[in-house]
Structure 1
Amino acid sequence: MTDDLALDRQVCFALYSASRAATAAYRPLLDELGVTYPQYLVLLVLWERDGRGVREICDELGLDTGTLSPLLKRLEGLGLVERRRLISDERRVEIHLTDAGTALRERAADIPRKLAAATGMSEEELLALRQALLRVVAALHGSTS
């Protein structure tokens, strides 16, 4: 008889453990850049397209403004981003990379390759894993709405 409540049978625990392990693997690489993992995620969004609104970054990362605002303040304090109020609507703020924030992208360029290598998985396996995880996220977001 299988115990459906055994920890090693829980998908949620496997996801949690994988997330913690991935974040731990990123830590030394991001320490070299002087940023945390959540700050790195914000930078990834801005490196993809600079000058995004706060709400847009929140939506992209699945964060609320209460979580994002302190991240942006710390990134601004590090000299990597700046906040600019829109002239057309002063209630809205856009986040822009500074020259230092843009330059940091080059130093971060090898991080995805290093993390992929650390998994010991092939490119095809990692792509399949990513697709499976995206399906899980989409299904779970759909079940909570």
Structure 2
Amino acid sequence: MVCLDKQVCFSVYALSRQINQRYRPILDELDITYPQYLVLLILWEHQKHSVNQLGERLYLDSGTLTPMLKRLEQKGLIKRTRSTADERVVEISLTKEGKQLREPACAVPQKFLASLNISPEELVQLHHTINKILDLTKNLK
């Protein structure tokens, strides 16, 4: 018999929603959403990415990503420019304000972990398992 409580996909879905709810008040302090936070994490690490590269890293299509990038640009955190090598490519980079947001954002992971009733070791194990599944699904495409 198929039952909701036995479905791994439901547990992952419910966990995703719970994680977003726990991040929301933390990221509200920075005036960004969780998906915007993920874009900024990539840019703080690599400075510049194309829209396509961001989409691949975040598992998002351009139809979802483009409006989010426009909002980040309106907030003054990123800038979008056409590549000089290929004008079809839109490159995303941080503005001065976007770079300055990195320091207060450094507290986000600690605040998130504090909101959970789970050990750092358990979280690392969960992260490892999730990445293993994601890697397997990438290879199936």
* TM tier, smaller: over 0.9
Q: Does residue 27 of the first structure (1) align with residue 24 of the second (2)?
A: yes
Q: Does residue 8 of the first structure (1) align with residue 13 of the second (2)?
A: no
Contact 2:26 2:112 in 1 (8 A): no
- Aligned residue among 93, 101, 106 for 2:103: 106
TM-score scaled by structure 2? 0.93
Secondary structure of the residue that 1:22 maps to in structure 2?
helix
Secondary structure of the residue that 2:14 maps to in structure 1?
helix
- Aligned residue among 71, 95, 98 for 1:74: 71
Secondary structure of the residue that 1:127 maps to in structure 2?
helix
- Equivalent positions of 1:51-66 (< 5 A) are 51-66=48-63
Q: Does residue 123 of the first structure (1) align with residue 99 of the second (2)?
A: no
CA distance in 2: counterparts of 1:16 and 1:80, whole angstroms = 30
- Aligned residue among 71, 93, 96 for 2:93: 96
CA-to-aligned-CA distance 1:52-101 (integer Å, 9 cap, x gap): 11111111111111111101100000000001112222222211100110
Secondary structure of the residue that 2:56 maps to in structure 1?
helix
CA distance in 2: counterparts of 1:19 and 1:89, whole angstroms = 37
Aligned residues: CA RMSD: 1.3
Q: Does residue 86 of the first structure (1) align with residue 83 of the second (2)?
A: yes
- Aligned residue among 45, 48, 59 for 2:45: 48
Larger radius of gyration, structure 1 or 2? 1
Matched to 1:37, the amino acid is Y
- Aligned residue among 17, 33, 38 for 2:35: 38
CA distance in 1: counterparts of 2:108 and 2:89, whole angstroms = 32
Equivalent pairs, count: 141
Q: CA deviation at 1:117?
A: 2.0
TM-score scaled by structure 1? 0.91
What are structure 2's unaligned runs of at least 5 residues? Answer: none
Percentage identity across paired residues of the two chains: 47
CA distance in 2: counterparts of 1:13 and 1:140, whole angstroms = 17
Q: Which residue of 1 aligns with 2:135?
A: 138
